[in-house]
Each structure stands twice: as C-alpha cells, then as structure tokens.
Amino acid sequence: MSFRIIGLDPAPFRHLSGLDDQALAVIGVRRYVADSKPGFPDRIELRDAEPGEKLLLLNYTHQPADTPYRASHAIFVREGAQLAYDRIGEIPEALRIRTISLRGFDRDHLMVDADLVEGRELAGLIERLFADPKVSYLQAHYAKRGCYAARIERV
C-alpha cells in the first residue's frame, strides 16, 4: 500500500519569523537555536535542524476537529522554512530515527487504532493501520515527548 507523508504548511508561521524574542513571548512562542543534531525536529520540512539554525517552539492544534480527540501540543518550526515535506512512500529521517506513536482516525476524526513503533519499522505499521478501511488518515507523534510530527494519508 502506498502512503503520503506531509509536513505542515509554512504559510501560517511566516509572520513569526524575524519577530524579536519579546514579541514572541507575548504570544507564547519561544525561539531556540539548535545546538545538536538530532534534537530539534522541524514540522514543516520534517528534518532535524542543523546546529545554529533558529526554530520557533509554539503550541499547534494538530487535531482541530470538534471531537473528544481535539488536541494541541508544542512543536518546532524552523524559521525560514519554505516548503512542506510532501513525499509518497518515503519516510524522512526525523521519523526513522525516533520512536513513533501512530494514531489512526476515521472520517469523523475519531481515533480507531493506535500503536507504537521504532521509526525504522514505521512503513509496516502504516500498512497495517491502513489495512482497516475505517482508517481515513494517520497522525505521527514523537512518542518520547508526545509532540505531533506529521500527517500520513492513503495514496
């Protein structure tokens, strides 16, 4: 089965780039400078920032539907990221090197299945969850901190 992994659209975050730290703090956003790799996974390009790159840590509503699963959590977005990751059948390294919580949702945005997997085994779990016709899409989360990582769709 083919799948598509999609990073976040950079457009909603562009207005934050270049704001000073005080202006960011007023809206609950913090700027970080990556000091190690891996360690700062960007949700737009779905890659770990290189040491020295600037990222913004902010709260993001990754499950906006009005259901019991409505949810938000902290994510990093790299300042200046221009193009969302969008590939078919490829798993980015930022997902491959981490333990992933994969959550399957139906058309009504209710969770119907979930499991944990080491990122190098992610393709098999994607296939297993999509074998259930009730699963419309998947959300990947970095299991250690619980942060949203990416959306996965059927192709």
In the block, residue with structure tokens 């083919």 = 2
Kindly state the greatest CA–CA separation across the chain. Answer: 48
Domain limits for position 81: 3-154
The mean pLDDT of 60-70, rounded to a whole number, is 97
* Residue 81 burial (C-beta neighbours within 10 Å; 0-12, 13-18, 19+): buried
Query: What's the pLDDT band for 149 if we cut at 50, 70, 90?
Result: very high
pLDDT at res. 30: 98
Tell me: the pLDDT tens digits for 13-44?
A: 999 999 999 999 999 999 999 999 999 999 99
Q: At 37, list the tokens.
A: 């790799």
Distance separating alpha carbons of residues 142 and 117, to the nearest angstrom: 10
Beta bridge partners of 5: 87, 152
Q: What is the pLDDT of residue 26?
A: 98
Region 121-125: mean pLDDT is 98
Q: Is the pLDDT of residue 1 over 80?
A: no
**pLDDT on residue 132:** 98
Question: What's the pLDDT at 101?
Answer: 98
The count of domains in the chain is 1
* Average of per-residue pLDDT across 142-149: 96
**Is-above-0.85 flag for pTM?**
yes
Q: Give the Cα separation of 107 and 116 in Å (integer).
A: 22
Contact 101, 152 (CB under 8 A): no
Q: Has residue 107 got a pLDDT over 90?
A: yes
